[in-house]
Structure 1
Amino acid sequence: MSNTQKNNKGFNDPGRFAFMSVAPMFSVISLVAVVLALAIIMTKGFRYGIDFAGGTEVQVQFNQKPPVSEIRSFMETLVDSVMVQTLGENNEVLIRMQMAQGESEKEMNEKNNERIKTVTAGLVDKFQLPGDAIRRVDSVGPQIGEELKTNGVLAVLYSLIMILIYVGLRFDYKYAPGAVLCLFHDAMITLGIFSILGKEVNVQILAAILTIIGYSLNDTIINFDRIRENEVVFKGKDLSFIINRSVNDVLSRTMLTSITTMLAVIALYIFAGGVIEDLAFTLGIGVVVGTYSSIYVASPLVVLSDKLSKKWLTA
């Protein structure tokens, strides 16, 4: 076979996997998933942690396996609304309760401090705990919680806007919408799963969402970089062909990165426990959804954006 024939064969080779041939189907699935996630979030909402909802959190270490039901029953004699859960494997429990009510912020803080003293002293006395058994006490007022919630939403929105500008400047206008909608897709799917499962959403989970956005963007940028290179190499070819070839070119790198990241996340989920467990759970969803969306959300949107822009220019 001559070099010309070999080159022509390579020029006409779209890659081992025909990603773009099934892209329309997966795009519809992604759209439906995002709509369902939004509907669930709007109807069911989230179970906010004290960071966002306000309240008091007490972390207590017991000498042996903590009797959760007994602790809960005891706490219900002291406060109206309480949640008790085990934390990791160090015989620790996390007790969450609402802030005490008051006519002013000063009165509310005073009542809350009194309640904390009553609860901690009661736990030490009831379960015969040492003085250092109370590991941590955190309180967040409802106004501060609402402010943190608003700032969290703004942080995500600002990051998406900056990414839109960055991708538009680094690549081309046709790439920017795909990158941002891909990240929006990842965030909504993750939050939808949290809403369905009733998992707590707090500042740590918000940090994990922003990490997911960064991870997914990195995957998407690598695909876009190869697409831009191949637009020169395969000049004259259909954009769908170029994207399919580009995704195949970086597929091994994408899969190796995702697998190694997932192994670390699984290790955290199994061995860390507590708050880290939820963080690892969030990152695990993000790795899977982010890898998928960089192929089946961002790339098809580049094709759509290119077609719409050409149609608009020729109109």
Structure 2
Amino acid sequence: MEIIKPGTTIDFLGKRRTFVTASFALVLLILVLIPLRVNLGVDFAGGTEIEVKFHRAVEVEKLRGQVAEAGFGGASVQQIGSADENAFLIRVGQVSVLSDEDLERYREAFARELSSYGFVGLSFNPSTGDLLDLRTEREVPEAELLRAARAAGLPLTQRGEPVRNLTRAGQPAYQFVIQGLSDKVSEALQAEFGQDVEVRRVEFVGPQVGKQLRNRGIMAVLLAMVGIVLYVLFRFDVRFAPGTLVGLVHDVVITTGYWVVTGREFNLTSIAVLLTVVGYSVNDKVVVFDRVREVAARRKGMSLYDTINTAVNETLSRTIVTGLTTVIALLGFLVFARGSIFDFSAAMILGILAGTYSSIFVAGPIALVVDRWVQKRETERKVHESKTAQA
């Protein structure tokens, strides 16, 4: 399919300064806004995410007020799915409601109630949610554990097993599941809306785990770009690698601009989008640079300026068709999907457009700049060697 007629000679590099300057200005603006505008999800920031569904229409502001009355004033409440689904996502920036004072009080009570069983310690890890770990010297019957928990005033969960036996290799160990943050939010909502509310899903990520996920996500994107640049370096020419790298950085930053502008949640799905955009973008650039190599071999003596222009013109139809085909496939998700799938589709479309643009207006001009720099250095080296020989 030929959208662009064969023999088209558009001087893409003629306006390279305008396009490159505008691109770099936009990239710089997004980089400045990323720390201020990107809304990190539970995957990266840590906290608790609760998905609830109502069997009748509920206003977002009313729901936000109920969550605030439960003691979580900084919670984020977002409607997901279509309006008639009445489904909401509640994000709270913590994973536990247990304080250090509460833990110390429970520790003293258990030491007193289980002294005959050789109480060793009661510990709590805030990154794993509302779970209390108990260790004793001798095994404790479950009935005694429940009695001690009631005497200590421990608010055990009403869902599932409140006590877990983790004894291994003869070392008594137990875990109490207490009423946590999600229970507190659920109770507040049920008190207001009764049986009209249903808790669909509860997920929590500790702050340290969130930080690790964020760092590994960033590292995955960086390693992908470095690996691609090394491939271009060995497959083509050293002059093309910097253009590929700058183009990939451009595409990743522009795609990240979707979350900067919309304020939508940036999570692990977002990292998947960025990695996909990197793969798509490099495919476009490899096609262009491969055609540059073919044109250079076919037309000996042609300048790199004209070679790049010719290669871009010859691959322009393919670049546009490939981009449009992928965008059309994503439009279905954009129209009918909600939540993370909608974000994936919208950001991917932006990334595809950015990748197509950078393959034409960014990668080539950077390769041209590098080529002229290399030629200048080579000329200086030859002049220096000539002067040295004469001396």
Q: Same fold (TM over 0.5)?
A: yes
Is 2:264 the partner of 1:264? no
Partners of 2:258 and 2:347 within 8 A in 1: no
Match of 2:308 in 1: 243
- Give, as a single letter, the amino acid of the residue that structure 2 aligns with 1:28: T
2:256 aligned counterpart, secondary structure: helix
What are the equivalent positions in structure 2 for 1:1-315 lying under 5 Å apart?
A: 15-42=8-35, 44-78=36-70, 79-89=72-82, 90-99=85-94, 100=96, 102-103=99-100, 106=124, 108=126, 109-110=129-130, 114-129=180-195, 133-315=198-380
Q: If the length of structure 1 is used for normalisation, what is the TM-score?
A: 0.89
Consecutive unaligned residues in structure 2, runs of 5 or more:
1-5, 104-122, 132-177, 381-391
* Distance of 1:116 and 1:236 partners within structure 2: 71
* CA-to-aligned-CA distance 1:64-87 (integer Å, 9 cap, x gap): 333322211111111232111111
Most deviating of 114-123 and 278-287: 114-123
Q: Which moved more, 1:50-59 or 1:83-92?
A: 83-92
State whether residues 178 and 297 of structure 1, in contact with CA within 8 Å, keep that contact through their aligned partners in structure 2. Answer: yes
On the 8 A contact 1:47/1:199 being kept in 2, the answer is yes
CA–CA distance in structure 2, aligned partners of residues 215 and 26 of structure 1: 21
Q: Is 1:60–1:136's contact at 8 Å kept on the other side of the alignment?
A: yes
Q: Secondary structure at the match of 2:55?
A: coil
Structure 1 residue 130, shift from structure 2 partner = 6.5
- 1:9: which partner in 2? none
Tell me the SS of whatever aligns to 2:180.
helix
Read off the aligned partner of 1:46 and give its amino acid letter: V
Name the structure, 1 or 2, with higher relative contact order (CA <8 Å, separation 6+): 1
Contact 1:14 1:245 in 2 (8 A): no
Alpha-carbon distance in structure 2 between the residues aligned to 1:211 and 1:116:
34
Partner SS state of residue 174, structure 1:
coil
Larger radius of gyration: 2
TM-score by length of 2: 0.72
User: Which letter does structure 1 place at the counterpart of 2:188?
Assistant: G
Q: Distance in 2 between matches of 1:259 and 1:232?
A: 30
Q: 1:8 — aligned with what?
A: none
Aligned length: 301
What is the aligned-residue identity percentage? 35
Task: State the 1:229 CA deviation.
Answer: 0.8
> Stretches of 4+ moved more than 6 A in 1?
none
Cα 1:308–1:130, aligned 2, differ >3 Å: closer, same or farther?
Answer: same
- Larger helix share, 1 or 2: 1
Superposition deviation, residue 193 in structure 1: 4.4
CA deviation string 1:197-231 (max 9, x = no partner): 33321111111111111111111111111111111
| 2:20–2:362 Cα contact (<8 Å) kept | yes
